[in-house]
Structure 1
Amino acid sequence: MKILLVAGPFISLREPYNGGTEAFVVELANELVRLGHTVDVIAKDADEKNLFQVIEFHESPLSMKDDSYRPCPEWLGQQHYQTLQYGLFDVSRYDVIHYNSFIPEIYAVGALFKTPSVLTLHLPPTEKFVLMYTFFIKHAPVVPIGISARMSKQWKAFLGSDVNVILNGIPLDKWTVHERNADGYLLWSGRIAKEKNVEAAIQLANYLKQPLRIVGPVFDKEYFRDHVQPQMNERIEYVSHATQQQLSNLVAGASAYLATATWEEPFGLSTVEMLASGLPVVGFTSAIPPELRHENVSIAVDSQDWQDLIKPLEVAKQSEPAACRDFAASFAMTKTSAAYVNVYERMVTKLRR
């Protein structure tokens, strides 16, 4: 099949990724190519090592800033210009379009196309996304897919019908199993923002007098300045943003991974990545969806109090790296991609009847 994946014309797929969605798009596209399909991805750019082709919509050489009718800065005007080019793009060459975008104009334009489409629901329902996706589904031949039972249940309330689930996956061969460093530091990764709640990890580490490494881009500079930086000390280290290889290397010196988000994670790729590296995970149920929980290697407490992580952390540290890896193998990208291909083929067959 010829498959078009849509991230967005100003979305970079280069490492280090801004989030799990970008990592998912890259690894799904690569695996689909390995399965023998032709895959193009609408994005700003991607690392050259990838197997798929990037389709770029370039900025205009003219200024797109608007100071009058609908005032907007230059960067936003250029984003609008790039996105609306999708309406002139010939999608007839593709058997299926797979949307993984958070850009409203993409769906306004995509609603005009009659190519079989799949929409992966990467985020919880908000007023904006409900309006955006329900409009799209009303006008286009599209099947929505939730990345966890949690996402499926939440979106069913707004879409009015069952939402099938295809769990996210990772390429297992990218994550090396490391021997456990029982006396190593705790590890936390994610975007630095209030809802990700790195403060809980810091408080736990300080209480245990155990080192903590914090990895991730600063999304909320004020939050980082006011709530994270003041708690830095000789044990608490901010490593900044990291590639997947750099993160894998950090696992080698860690004893456990902390998942402390206070918002309900739609899936939690980082949890699977750490498990695949042999590192046990401890966190809150909000941060670890039911599918990713395990009584020994991925322990979730129904709480958002860091003190409730103390005892589970001791249990998790007794687990073997091989047990962590075995559980993570349930979320291999090979399974995820095969499930999506099955959906693609059903849609194409249905439309041809």
Structure 2
Amino acid sequence: MRILLVAGPFISLREPYNGGTEAFVVAHANQLVRLGHTVDVIAKDADEKNLFQVIEFPESPLSMKDDAYRPCPEWLGQQHYQSLQFGMLDVSKYDIIHYNSFIPEIYAVGALLNIPSVLTLHLPPTEKFELVYKFFLKHAPALPIGISERMSKGWASSLGKEVEVILNGIVLQQWKLYHRNNDGYLLWSGRITKEKNVEAAIHLANHLKRPLKIIGPIFDQQYFSIHVEPKLSERIQYISHVNQQQLNDLAGGASAYLATALWEEPFGLSTLEMLACGLPVVGFYTAIPPELRDEQVAIAVDSDDWKDLIKPLEKVGAATPQNCRDFANSFDMQKTSEAYVKVYQWLSKTLRHE
């Protein structure tokens, strides 16, 4: 099949990724090529090692800043300009368009295209995206897909229609299995924002007098400066953002991974990645969706209190690295991509004849 994946014209697919959506797009696009399909991806750029082709929409050589009718800074004006170029792309050669974007203008343009489409719902429902996606699905020959059961149920209620589930996956071969160091540090990764709640991991580590390594980009500098930076010490270390290989290496020296987000993680790729490395996971229900929970290797508690993670952390110490890896094996990216291909084929046959 000829497949167009849409991330966004100013979205970088280079490592280290900004989030799980970018990681999914790269892994899925590469897997589709391995399965024999031709894949283009709309993005700002991507690492050269990838198998797919990137379609870039350039910025304008003219200023896009607006101080009058619709005030916006230069960078935002350029993003608007780049996004609207999607409407000038000849998409007639594609069998399917797969949207993985958070850019409203992309969906305004996409609603005009009569190409069978898949919309993967990577975020929980919000008022903004409910309107964007409802508009798009009203006008485009598109099928929404949830990445977990709780995402599917949330969006089914918002959209007023059933939403099929295709669980995310990872490329297992990219994650080395380690012989876990039970005396190693605790590990936490994610965007440094209030809703990701790294503070819970810091409190837990200090209470247990255990080392903690914190990994991830600072999305909220004020939050980091007030709630994280003052708590850093020889024991509590912030290592900044890292690529997947570096994260894999750091997992090799850890004893457990902490998933403490307060918002409902749509899927939780980081949990799965750490399990693939042989690292057990403990965290809150909000951070670990039901599909990734397991009473031996990935224990989640119905709480947002870090103290409730103490006993689960003791329990997962008995899990072997192979136990963790075996659980992760159920979420191989090939299975995910094959499930999407079945949807692509059905849509291409069904919607092109309507």
Regarding TM over 0.5, the answer is yes
Match of 2:302 in 1: 302
| SS of structure 2 residue aligned to 1:240 | coil
| SS of structure 2 residue aligned to 1:157 | helix
Alignment deviations for residues 239-283 of structure 1 (CA, whole Å, 9 cap, x no partner): 100000000000111000000000010000000000000000000
Match of 1:22 in 2: 22
Match of 1:204 in 2: 204
| SS of structure 1 residue aligned to 2:33 | helix
Superposed counterparts of 1:94-105, under 5 Å: 94-105=94-105
1:139 corresponds to 2:139: yes
Match of 1:8 in 2: 8
Superposed counterparts of 1:58-77, under 5 Å: 58-77=58-77
Question: Distance in 2 between the 1:67 and 1:180 partners?
Answer: 57
Q: CA deviation at 1:161?
A: 1.1
Question: Distance in 1 between the 2:95 and 2:270 partners?
Answer: 32
| SS of structure 2 residue aligned to 1:179 | coil
Question: Distance in 2 between the 1:161 and 1:85 partners?
Answer: 31
Question: Distance in 2 between the 1:46 and 1:186 partners?
Answer: 31
Match of 2:130 in 1: 130
Matched length:
353
* Amino acid aligned to 1:345: Q
1:174 corresponds to 2:184: no
Q: CA deviation at 1:351?
A: 2.5
* Amino acid aligned to 1:318: A
Question: Distance in 1 between the 2:160 and 2:128 partners?
Answer: 17
* Amino acid aligned to 2:67: D
Superposed counterparts of 1:1-353, under 5 Å: 1-353=1-353
| SS of structure 1 residue aligned to 2:152 | helix
Contact 2:186 2:210 in 1 (8 A): yes
Question: Distance in 2 between the 1:229 and 1:351 partners?
Answer: 53
Which 4+ residue blocks in structure 1 deviate beyond 3 angstroms? none
Alignment deviations for residues 29-65 of structure 1 (CA, whole Å, 9 cap, x no partner): 0000000000000000000000000000000000001
Contact 2:185 2:213 in 1 (8 A): yes
* Amino acid aligned to 1:212: L
Question: Distance in 2 between the 1:158 and 1:148 partners?
Answer: 15
| SS of structure 2 residue aligned to 1:162 | coil
Unaligned runs of 5+ in 2: none
Alignment deviations for residues 303-346 of structure 1 (CA, whole Å, 9 cap, x no partner): 00000000000111110000000000111101100000000000
Question: Distance in 2 between the 1:100 and 1:134 partners?
Answer: 15
| SS of structure 2 residue aligned to 1:91 | coil
| SS of structure 1 residue aligned to 2:98 | strand
| SS of structure 2 residue aligned to 1:317 | helix
| SS of structure 2 residue aligned to 1:283 | strand
Q: CA deviation at 1:158?
A: 1.3
* Amino acid aligned to 1:197: N
Contact 2:296 2:316 in 1 (8 A): yes
Alignment deviations for residues 147-179 of structure 1 (CA, whole Å, 9 cap, x no partner): 000000000111111100000000000000001
* Amino acid aligned to 1:313: L
* Amino acid aligned to 2:264: E
Q: CA deviation at 1:83?
A: 0.4
Question: Distance in 2 between the 1:252 and 1:152 partners?
Answer: 34
| SS of structure 2 residue aligned to 1:3 | strand
| SS of structure 1 residue aligned to 2:192 | coil
Question: Distance in 1 between the 2:198 and 2:287 partners?
Answer: 12
Question: Distance in 1 between the 2:317 and 2:239 partners?
Answer: 23
Question: Distance in 2 between the 1:334 and 1:60 partners?
Answer: 38
* Amino acid aligned to 2:101: S
Question: Distance in 1 between the 2:336 and 2:352 partners?
Answer: 25
Q: CA deviation at 1:287?
A: 0.2
Q: CA deviation at 1:141?
A: 0.2
Question: Distance in 2 between the 1:294 and 1:350 partners?
Answer: 39
* Amino acid aligned to 2:10: F
| SS of structure 1 residue aligned to 2:178 | coil
Q: CA deviation at 1:87?
A: 0.5
Q: CA deviation at 1:233?
A: 1.2
| TM-score (ref. length: structure 2) | 0.99
* Amino acid aligned to 1:56: E
Residue identity over aligned pairs, in percent, reads 75
| TM-score (ref. length: structure 1) | 1.00
Contact 2:115 2:352 in 1 (8 A): no
Q: CA deviation at 1:352?
A: 4.0
Unaligned runs of 5+ in 1: none
